Amino acid sequence: METSSQDPQGHPGARPDEERGREQGKFYTFFVDDREFRVNEPVITGAEIMDLAGIAQSVGLILIEDDGTQRQIQPDEQVELKPGRRFKKAPRFKRG
């Protein structure tokens, strides 16, 4: 009996944490808002990262560089997954 995996948003094959990539050998790990994700490819788009993390593309994604600087990642931008790559959901500001 074969089972298919889905992430919390129902995307088939998208598996967070240590499950993803285990069956196929080499994997690439990254973190979004302190949640670990693993994929089989060394390059991924901003849209794919947001989809896996359940972040709407209208909200946006921030890459946290090794030196602590932050920059926004566009949905169509290709991102190289270096060890320990960290991202976070873009903050929303309210005018008061």
Question: What CATH number is given to the structural domain containing 47?
Answer: 3.10.20
* Inside any domain, residue 58: yes
Would the pTM count as exceeding 0.75? Answer: no
* C-alpha–C-alpha distance, residues 27 and 91, integer Å: 29
Selected residue with higher pLDDT from 22 and 85: 85
Residue 8 belongs to a domain: no
Domain that holds residue 41: 17-89
Examine residue 32 and state whether it is found in any structural domain, yes or no: yes
Structural domain tally of the chain? Answer: 1
Residue 5 lies in a domain: no
Q: Give pLDDT tens digits for 70-79.
A: 999 999 999 9
Strand order in 85-89's β-sheet? 35-39, 28-32, 85-89, 61-64, 70-73
Give domain status of residue 4, yes or no: no
- Whether residue 55 is contained in a domain is answered as yes
Give the rounded percent of residues in the chain with a pLDDT score beyond 90: 65
pLDDT recorded at residue 95: 74
SS3 45: strand
pLDDT tens-digit readout, 16-59: 544 444 445 789 999 999 999 999 999 999 999 999 999 999 99
Asked, for residue 84, whether it belongs to a domain, the answer is yes
